[in-house]
Amino acid sequence: MPITDYRIVHEVPGRLRVRIPSMGEPGLEASFIESWIDAAASVTDVRANRAARSLVIEYRHQDGARARVLHRLESFSAESTPGFSEDGIREAEVAPMISTALTLAVLPFLTPRMQRVLTFVNVGATLVKGADTLVNQGIRVEVLDALAVGLAAANGEVYTANITDLLLDLGEFLEHRTSRQSDRLLRRLLRPEPAMAWVERDGELVQVAGDEVRTGEILVVGVGETVPVDGRVVEGIALVNQAAVTGEDVPVRKEARMRVIAGSTLVDGRIRIEATQVGEDTTTARVSRFIQDSLSRQSDTQRLADRLADKRVYLTLVTGGIVYALTRDLTRLQSVFLVDYSCALKLGTPVAFKSGMYRAAAHGVLMKGGEAIEHLAEVDTVVFDKTGTLTQSDLVVTDVVVLSRNTRWSEEDLLALVASVEEHASHPVARAVVEAAKERDLQHISHGEIDYLVAHGMAADVKGGRIFVGSRHYLEEHLRIRFGGYNKHIARLEDEGKTLLYVGNQDGPVGLIGLRDTMREEAHDTLQRLRVLGIERLVMITGDRRNKAKALAAELGIDQVYAEMRPEEKAGVIQQFQDAGRKVAFVGDGVNDGPALVAAQVGIAMPRGADIARATADIVLMDDRLDAVADARELARRTMRMIRGNFNAAVGINTGILGGAVVGWLSPVASAVLHNGTTIGILLNALRGVRLSDDPDQTIKHQLVRFKDALAE
By annotation, the residues acting in catalysis are: 385
Taking the C-alpha atoms of 155, 160, 163 and 164 in order, what is their torsion angle to the nearest 10 degrees?
Answer: -70
The answer to whether 627 and 424 have CB atoms below 8 angstroms apart is no
CA dist 342 and 655 (Å) reads 12
CA dist 583 and 25 (Å) reads 54
DSSP class per residue in 261-297: -TT-EEEEEEEEEEEEE-GGGSHHHHHHHHHHHHTTP
* Buried-state track 332-371, b at ≥16 Cβ within 10 A, e below 16: bbbbbbbbbbbbbbbbbbbbbbbbbbbbbbbbbbbbbbbb
- Number of alpha helices (DSSP H) and beta strands (DSSP E) in the chain: 25, 24
CA dist 553 and 560 (Å) reads 8
Phi, psi of 565 (to 5 degrees): -90, 135
Query: In Å, how far from its chain's centre is CA 456?
Result: 37
The answer to whether 20 and 59 have CB atoms below 8 angstroms apart is no
CA dist 147 and 334 (Å) reads 8
Length of the chain: 713
CA dist 452 and 329 (Å) reads 94
CA dist 182 and 549 (Å) reads 45
Calculate the alpha carbon distances from 9 to 6, 15, 67 in Å.
Answer: 9, 11, 16
* Buried-state track 416-446, b at ≥16 Cβ within 10 A, e below 16: bbbbbbbbebebbbbbbbbebbeeeebeebe
